[in-house]
Amino acid sequence: MKYISFTDEPTIAPDEFFMNEALKEAQKALALDEVPIGAVIVHSGRIIGRGHNLTEQLKDVTAHAEMQAFTAAANYTGGKYLKDCTLYVTIEPCVMCAGASYWTQISRIVYGADDPQRGFSQIKQRITHPKTEVISGIKANEAAQLVKDFFLSKRNKS
Give the span between the Cα atoms of 53 and 32, in whole angstroms.
Answer: 9
For residue 91, which of 18, 19, 30 has the smallest C-alpha distance?
19
What CA–CA distance (Å, rounded) separates 69 from 88? 10
* Residue pair 120/98 in contact by the 8 Å Cβ criterion: yes
User: Does residue 34 have an active-site annotation?
Assistant: no
CB-based contact 47:38 (threshold 8 Å): no
- Judged on CB neighbours under 10 Å (0-12, 13-18, 19+), 21 is middle
- Choosing from 9, 16, 25, 66, the catalytic residue is 66
Which residues are designated catalytic?
Answer: 66
